[in-house]
Chain A
Amino acid sequence: MLIKMQDITKAMQEKARELLQNKEVELVIGFSKGSLPLRYTPCFIRQPEEAEKLAWGYGCENNLAVYLRKRPEKMAVIAKGCDSRSIVELIKENQVKRENLVIIGVPCRGMIDRQKLSRLLAGKELREAEIKDGLVAVQGKDISASFPLDQLLYDSCLTCQHPNPVLYDYLLGEQVPARGSDTFADVAGFESRPPAERRSYLMKELSRCIRCYACRQACPMCFCEECFADCSMPQWVSKSSLDVQANLFFQAVRVLHLAGRCVDCGACDRACPMGIDLRTLTRKMVRDIQELFGYTAGISLDEKPPLAAPIKTAAGHV
């Protein structure tokens, strides 16, 4: 599988070089290797000779669709399944012009959750990681261990139904099989707990919030020019992170604004520096929209978003 990743990296660099050389695009947005093992970071390539910086691996976790809005130039973007679904929604919302965008799709095998790994390593420093045949071999100070890849993937990748890009101009690598259906057992489990317990769980999580708004910035769909959380006239919500109710209110409104638009990529959850569980609420919304409107975000360009068209459900119009 390591070979495969290298092949994809190579194909990616070639494609980027070609697109830039032929002046088909001015910019290629992808990933380059970070300075730590398993770390990749978004990168912006404008010159053909810089294309060799591009890389592909198990740490390409950011949703790159977040960088596409309101750019005047023609550009290409590397897109996993989730990135491509966000792009579909952005096109539908007139935020991105399809004709200005070249989508280089990459089927995704899931990304490695470094927090899961660091818990397994009990905080010991990781120096090297190699992925081969579904196993992750890690080396570091006083460690040499190997874990099954599935044990280390992000939760969002473990339930991912669309690992293959839904919209692309070029596809690098082979399509990967989707995982068995997502039953939203986590959401149902949470909802089966008594209300007081749910409240105190969420309040406890959000009591750590520092209002850095990284969750909002990481999300491709959170793009209002003026966010309600930043307004002072009127001030809709307290700006103090000490106000736990307000922190929860901020998340509740964020999730509500993402109804029918969130693709459950998990970017917000990963961006949170305080490790707050944000997916319980985002996934609840994804499930409710599926249940009420039969709509899954980012699957097709033609399907109207649920709030843009009256949709008939078993219970009549909603």
Chain B
Amino acid sequence: MKVTQRLLETLGIERERLRLAWISASEGAKFAETVTEFTNQLKELGPNPLRTSPGVQEKPCSA
């Protein structure tokens, strides 16, 4: 995890965009809570910076 987060950071992607949580099948509430919280965090961070960086053209359709 640490290794991946550090790599993402170097690519210019915030490390907060990657998260690992261990939740058992019996912990429904914890699962919902974690996902909601993470979704909110991602919304706050906005779209992936790689998508919006200069020099990126959108994929030509059906390429």
Contact = CB atoms under 8 A, between A and B. Distances in A.
B49 to A, nearest CB: 6
B4 interface: yes
Nearest to B63: A240
Interface in A177-206: 190-191, 195-196, 198-200, 202-204
Interface in B27-63: 49-51, 53-57, 59-60, 63
A244 interface: yes
A223 B54 CA distance: 34
Interface residues of B, number: 22
B6 interface: yes
B18 to A, nearest CB: 12
Contacts of B54: 200, 203
A158 interface: no
A199 B50 contact: yes
A199 B63 CA distance: 24
B53, B55, B57, B63: residue with the most chain A Cβ atoms closer than 10 Å? B53
How would you classify the secondary structure of chain B's contact residues: helix, strand, loop or mixed? helix
A318 to B, nearest CB: 6
Given A199-B12, A248-B50, A281-B10, A256 B4 contact: yes
Contacts of B55: 200, 203-204, 207, 244
A306 to B, nearest CB: 9
A288 B49 contact: no
A292 B3 CA distance: 8
Contacts of B25: none
A243 B63 CA distance: 9
A191 B9 CA distance: 9
Given A200-B55, A243-B59, A318 B2 contact: yes
B3 A289 contact: yes
B11 interface: yes
B53 A199 contact: yes
Contact of B11 (A202, A204, A243, A289): A202
B7 interface: yes
Nearest to A313: B2
Contact of A198 (B2, B4, B12, B59): B12
**3 A-B pairs with least C-beta separation:** A199-B12, A195-B12, A199-B53
Given A204-B55, A289-B3, 10 more contacts: A195-B49, A198-B10, A198-B11, A199-B49, A199-B50, A203-B50, A252-B7, A281-B10, A284-B6, A292-B6
18 contacts: A191-B10, A195-B12, A196-B53, A198-B10, A199-B50, A199-B53, A200-B53, A200-B54, A200-B55, A202-B11, A203-B50, A203-B56, A207-B55, A243-B63, A244-B55, A244-B56, A284-B10, A289-B3
Interface of B: 2-4, 6-13, 49-51, 53-57, 59-60, 63
